[in-house]
Amino acid sequence: MAAPLTRAQWLLLLLLAFDAVLLALLEVFFLPLRVGTLGEIPLPVTVLVGAVTTPWLVLTTAKLVRPGLSFVPLVVWVIVVFVIGLTGPGGDLVLVQDWRALLLLGGSALPAALVLGGGLGRAATAKGSGRG
């Protein structure tokens, strides 16, 4: 059984979850960004931001807090994207209804889920080999 979290670990977990909230808000609100004089070329740069930061949050949580809690930033990110994206401020639909929304979800959540699975697998292997 794992030891209880220290106060510093709780604070780090809350900080990383808050970072996930802020990044999810940034990514959803700037997803419709367009480039050009007439605004005709969609440029979903927030997908790149999400593809880097969401896995980083999961990895940082696994290293600094505990591998078993590294799912928290990913879950927080997904909840914020769906809640704000589908029920936005004033009931507006903020999440664009095209390929960019799918790209944001796949480009951010999938790498984070891969990092999460790899980290949990390594933690389980290390835990299992330590008993032998």
Three-class DSSP labels, 61-100 = HHHHCCHHHCCHHHHHHHHHHHHHHHHCHHHCCCCCCCHH
Strand ranges inside 1-130, DSSP E: 34-35, 41-42
Average pLDDT of the residues in 77-104: 88
Residue 96: domain span? 21-31+46-120
Interval 99-110: pLDDT, tens: 999 999 999 999
Identify the CA nearest to 79 among candidates 17, 131, 9: 17
Does 6 reside within a domain?
no
Q: Is residue 9 part of a domain?
A: no
| 15 domain-assigned | no
Digit-coded pLDDT (tens) for 10-55 = 999 999 999 999 999 999 999 988 877 666 788 889 999 999 999 9
Domain total of the chain = 1
